Amino acid sequence: MVGNQRVRKLLAAGFCAAIAFGAAPTAQALTLPAPMSTQDTINEWNKQLQPFGVQLPAVDPALAQAIDQSLSDAHREAERLGTQWEQQAAAVQEQVAAAVPVVEPAVPVAPTAPTAGYAVGDPAGPNYMWRNDPVSSIMALTPGPVLHRAPGSWFNAPDVPEASKAAEAQGKSLYGPGTPIFVAEKSMCTVTATGTDAQGRKLAITAGHCGSVGDTVISADSWKLGPSGTVVAQGTNLDYAVIELGSNAQLTSTYNGVTVTDHGAQAQGEILCKQGVATGFTCGVVWANQSAMALSQICAMRGDSGAPILNGNKVVGLVNGGMFPDQNLACATPLQGPLFMPTQSTDFNKVVKDLNARGGVGAGFQLTK
């Protein structure tokens, strides 16, 4: 029996090309492009990693053959399951269509107003959409409803945590490691960590390219409260930004299951993890760490910028972006497994050092305890 581990190894680029986002299910057979072979994948990675002086070790031919066979099995099983699920969904649609006649309303029907509690199917603000179609379930490897919070991501995104809802009920936007944010109401990013500086100002750190100094910041998990911060500084040679939070913001060291109590640096060969709004909690190996920038196989895509890179409860970096500008190579679905472009991240120790050196807002930064 083919399990999820095999299915995860399918290439998402071809998969996405075969299935349109939100397409209505049909009874036709599902056809997926054949996955890339293990050796071809390693050759492609080595070509892309060559400028960084990183070379992946050779794979035993027998092992490569076994992996390729598993990929082939997974490919056939994914097609079979996808076709089965689409046929079942199409049958249900036909039953519903037969039982419920279509009646055109005499007057336009106003949309239902959002209700409190962020229930499934209730829009909790921009970039918050529950989907319960077979394609979304397959792409997210998640049975049942799937939450999408970043355009282009097929992952089941982290939902609004109960702690954020409780803070919102008190008129506060809760900020911690992994909090999703809107910057200038145009960029969606993720908070690295929160803390205070030597003057006691409440701060949050995210990626520098998420916005510009003066941009307002809104928590995507409590957007109804409006702006609760402002970008006040950016790194000169490091891609980070400092957000000064207002009186309607509350700090925490734990957010959506992620706790940060210390900071450090990234090291080559380590297995590190991250928590981002687009792709959730994912882990991968650090290929290289050059000066203040690291290269890793941690899954990330647009929306994850600023996401904390974690070594246990220690924040050691923040996500800056993909190694290449082509977003088609980004990590967009768990079906890809490790087959996506490497992720670049800034060393968090260097961020703290830079804050202290530049003075002003952020100098003397201490993590929230």
Tell me what pLDDT residue 26 has: 34
Considering only residues 71 and 14, tell me which one the structure prediction assigns the higher pLDDT. 71
Count of CB atoms situated within 10 Å of the CB of 125: 18
The two structure tokens encoding residue 21: 């986002």
Q: Can you tell me the mean pLDDT for 250-273?
A: 95
Q: Which of 11-15, 99-103, 287-291 has the lowest mean pLDDT?
A: 11-15
Would the pTM count as exceeding 0.85?
A: no
The pLDDT value recorded for residue 337 is: 86
Q: Give pLDDT tens digits for 186-223.
A: 789 999 999 999 999 999 999 999 999 999 999 999 99
**What pLDDT, on the 0 to 100 scale, is given for residue 96?**
41
Ordered by where they begin, the domains of the chain are 173-256+359-367 (2.40.10.10), 258-351 (2.40.10.10)
Length of the chain, in residues? 369
Q: Is the pLDDT of residue 145 over 50?
A: yes
How much is the pLDDT for 35? 59
Q: Which of 43-57, 123-137, 287-301 bottoms out in mean pLDDT, i.e. has the lowest? A: 43-57
At 183, give phi and psi (nearest 5°).
Answer: -110, 120
Over residues 71-87, the mean pLDDT reads: 58
Res. 9: pLDDT tops 50: no
Q: Which of 141, 142, 144, 147 is nearest to 161 (CA)?
A: 147
